[in-house]
Structure 1
Amino acid sequence: MSKISPCLWFNGEAEEAAKFYVSLLPDSRINHIQRNPIDGPAGKAGEVLVVDFTMAGQEYMALNGGMRFEFTHAISFKIDCADQAEVDRLWDALLSDGGSTHQCGWVRDRYGVSWQIVPSVLPEFLGGSDAAGAQRAMQAMLGMTKLDIAELRRAYEGKSAA
């Protein structure tokens, strides 16, 4: 059990969101659902109050807090992706049912939570020993919404798109 875990605030969608999030990555599961013991500001007795869940081995809490607060890009979740297929799969899943895209690999899901879908090789391109290559890769990334590993590699290596 983690000593610190993020709490995501929802207005009635905590269980739905947690189920969606655990469907995205291996080593993810719903751990516990706590229901309201009484009627109160967060809902009626018996409705879901808190969902404790694990996503990719990290513990989270989803709370139905009784009112809507908007999530911002100031807090986001970065997913390290092994390859383009994983980037594509997660990108599409997070966009489903009302998500939106943002520059440089950022996506906001249907609940308003911000995610960074980042290929594992990105630090190699942006921080590699070739400073000119890193600059080209950064310029390429700034022009992308979903990150394209092949295009980032071509930019780093100074090759034009085929």
Structure 2
Amino acid sequence: MKNQIYPCLWFDGQAQAAAKFYCAIFKDSKITADNQMVVTFELNGKRFMGLNGGPQFKFNEAVSFVIDCETQEEIDYYWQKLTADGGSEGQCGWLKDKFGVSWQVVPTILPKLLSDPAKAQNVLQAYMKMKKFDIEALQNA
């Protein structure tokens, strides 16, 4: 028997709303159980739990979820959806959604670009100035 490991996200009375928000953004997603205290859901086949725990704890950047993106269209899609209705943009591909959860929307090509000794410094300087990643600008740096 394998023990599953999955995150439990503490919300201030908004666990169900958050689960519905995330399931509308990510393909292959669904709410699997829901009661007034806890909602379990899957995003891209990965299990999450949302807890209506109250106002005692807030999300911060110490924990974030990374979304690997192959294309600029994917980056644009997740960026727009996750910052909608009160989310906020951060630097270097980071953002917070309207519930305060931190996300990193990252192009899959970034590690390759940073490992090229001829381009790494220019790529680093370019992406440090970006909020949402621009793949073409990184490739041209």
User: TM-score scaled by structure 1?
Assistant: 0.83
Counterpart Cα distance in 2 of 1:62 and 1:16: 10
The percent of aligned pairs where both chains have the same amino acid is: 49
1:140 paired residue number: 126
After TM superposition, list the pairs within 5 Å mapping 1:10-159 onto structure 2: 10-34=11-35, 48-127=36-115, 130-155=116-141
Mark the CA change 1:2 to 1:80 in structure 2 (over 3 Å): closer, same or farther. farther
1:9 paired residue number: 10
Structure 2, gaps ≥5 residues long: none
Runs of 4+ in 1 over 6 A off after TM superposition: none
Counterpart Cα distance in 2 of 1:69 and 1:134: 39
1:39 paired residue number: none
Question: Following TM superposition, by how much is the alpha carbon of 1:68 offset from its aligned partner in structure 2, in angstroms?
Answer: 4.2
Q: Which amino acid aligns with 2:118?
A: A
Mark the CA change 1:100 to 1:114 in structure 2 (over 3 Å): closer, same or farther. same
Q: Secondary structure at the match of 1:23?
A: helix
Q: Secondary structure at the match of 1:51?
A: strand
Counterpart Cα distance in 1 of 2:25 and 2:120: 31
Q: Report the count of equivalent residues.
A: 140
Query: Alpha carbon RMSD of aligned pairs, Å?
Result: 1.3
Q: Which has the larger radius of gyration?
A: 1
Counterpart Cα distance in 2 of 1:87 and 1:14: 25
Counterpart Cα distance in 2 of 1:16 and 1:98: 14
Mark the CA change 1:20 to 1:70 in structure 2 (over 3 Å): closer, same or farther. same
Q: Which amino acid aligns with 1:154?
A: N
Question: Following TM superposition, by how much is the alpha carbon of 1:2 offset from its aligned partner in structure 2, in angstroms?
Answer: 6.4
Q: What are the superposed Cα offsets for residues 129-157 of structure 1, whole Å, 9 maximum, x if unpaired? A: x31301111110000000000000001xx
Q: What are the superposed Cα offsets for residues 89-143 of structure 1, whole Å, 9 maximum, x if unpaired? A: 110111111111111000000000000000111111112xx31301111110000
User: TM-score scaled by structure 2?
Assistant: 0.95
Q: Which amino acid aligns with 2:80?
A: D
Contact 1:96–1:109 (Cα < 8 Å) also in 2: yes
1:40 paired residue number: none
Contact 1:53–1:59 (Cα < 8 Å) also in 2: yes
Q: Secondary structure at the match of 2:26?
A: coil
Q: Which amino acid aligns with 1:73?
A: E
Contact 1:2–1:59 (Cα < 8 Å) also in 2: no
